[in-house]
Protein backbone atom coordinates (compact mmCIF):
# COMPACT_ATOMS: atom_id res chain seq x y z
CA UNK A 1 0.00 0.00 0.00
CA UNK A 2 1.24 3.45 -0.87
CA UNK A 3 1.01 6.08 1.86
CA UNK A 4 -1.94 8.39 1.32
CA UNK A 5 -3.84 6.01 -0.98
CA UNK A 6 -7.43 5.10 -0.16
CA UNK A 7 -8.45 1.50 0.40
CA UNK A 8 -11.91 0.07 0.98
CA UNK A 9 -12.47 -2.83 3.36
CA UNK A 10 -15.50 -5.12 3.56
CA UNK A 11 -16.54 -8.15 5.55
CA UNK A 12 -19.42 -10.50 4.72
CA UNK A 13 -20.79 -12.67 7.52
CA UNK A 14 -23.33 -15.47 7.06
CA UNK A 15 -23.90 -17.36 10.26
CA UNK A 16 -20.37 -18.18 11.40
CA UNK A 17 -18.84 -18.03 7.90
CA UNK A 18 -16.82 -14.85 7.41
CA UNK A 19 -14.97 -13.43 4.40
CA UNK A 20 -12.88 -10.24 4.35
CA UNK A 21 -12.37 -8.16 1.17
CA UNK A 22 -10.36 -5.11 0.02
CA UNK A 23 -10.59 -2.72 -2.93
CA UNK A 24 -8.69 0.25 -4.34
CA UNK A 25 -11.78 1.79 -5.98
CA UNK A 26 -14.71 0.69 -3.79
CA UNK A 27 -16.19 -1.29 -6.69
CA UNK A 28 -13.94 -4.25 -7.53
CA UNK A 29 -13.15 -6.23 -4.37
CA UNK A 30 -10.52 -8.93 -3.82
CA UNK A 31 -11.00 -11.53 -1.10
CA UNK A 32 -8.48 -11.70 1.75
CA UNK A 33 -7.68 -15.26 2.73
CA UNK A 34 -10.15 -18.11 3.18
CA UNK A 35 -13.66 -18.10 4.64
CA UNK A 36 -13.36 -18.78 8.36
CA UNK A 37 -15.43 -19.28 11.51
CA UNK A 38 -16.01 -15.84 13.08
CA UNK A 39 -16.98 -17.30 16.46
CA UNK A 40 -13.25 -17.55 17.16
CA UNK A 41 -13.06 -13.73 17.15
CA UNK A 42 -15.36 -13.53 20.16
CA UNK A 43 -14.05 -11.70 23.21
CA UNK A 44 -14.77 -14.89 25.16
CA UNK A 45 -14.27 -17.68 22.60
CA UNK A 46 -16.08 -20.81 23.67
CA UNK A 47 -16.23 -24.24 22.12
CA UNK A 48 -19.87 -24.53 23.25
CA UNK A 49 -21.09 -21.42 21.38
CA UNK A 50 -22.32 -19.23 24.25
CA UNK A 51 -23.50 -15.81 23.09
CA UNK A 52 -21.30 -13.03 24.47
CA UNK A 53 -23.11 -10.08 22.92
CA UNK A 54 -23.08 -8.20 19.65
CA UNK A 55 -20.38 -5.66 18.87
CA UNK A 56 -19.20 -4.08 15.64
CA UNK A 57 -16.18 -1.87 15.05
CA UNK A 58 -13.04 -1.24 13.07
CA UNK A 59 -9.43 -1.17 14.17
CA UNK A 60 -5.93 -1.34 12.73
CA UNK A 61 -2.76 -2.53 14.40
CA UNK A 62 0.89 -2.40 13.37
CA UNK A 63 2.16 -5.58 14.99
CA UNK A 64 5.67 -5.29 13.55
CA UNK A 65 6.95 -1.82 14.52
CA UNK A 66 3.98 -0.32 16.42
CA UNK A 67 4.57 2.93 14.54
CA UNK A 68 2.14 3.00 11.58
CA UNK A 69 -1.42 4.30 11.80
CA UNK A 70 -4.60 4.22 9.75
CA UNK A 71 -7.28 6.90 9.35
CA UNK A 72 -10.84 5.76 8.71
CA UNK A 73 -13.12 8.23 6.90
CA UNK A 74 -16.33 6.33 7.51
CA UNK A 75 -17.80 3.09 8.81
CA UNK A 76 -21.01 1.78 7.25
CA UNK A 77 -22.95 -1.21 8.57
CA UNK A 78 -25.76 -3.03 6.74
CA UNK A 79 -27.66 -5.96 8.22
CA UNK A 80 -29.56 -8.23 5.84
CA UNK A 81 -32.31 -10.19 7.58
CA UNK A 82 -32.99 -13.54 5.96
pLDDT, tens only, 10-26: 988 888 898 999 999 99
Q: Answer yes or no: is pLDDT of 2 > 80.
A: no
Q: If you ran DSSP here, which 8-state letter would residue 8 be given?
A: E
Question: What are the residues whose beta carbons fall under 8 Å from the beta carbon of 37, sequence distance 6 or more?
Answer: 16, 17, 18
Contact 24/3 with Cβ under 8 angstroms?
Answer: no
pTM for the structure as a whole: 0.64
Entry field: residues in the chain: 82
Q: If you ran DSSP here, which 8-state letter would residue 39 be given?
A: G
For the chain, the maximum distance between any two Cα atoms, rounded to a whole number of angstroms, is 43
Mean of pLDDT values over 47-59: 70
Cβ neighbour number for residue 8 with a 10 Å cutoff: 13
Q: Answer yes or no: is pLDDT of 58 > 70.
A: yes
Amino acid sequence: MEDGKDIWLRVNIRGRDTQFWWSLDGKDYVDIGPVFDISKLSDEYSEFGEFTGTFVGITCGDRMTHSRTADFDFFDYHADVE
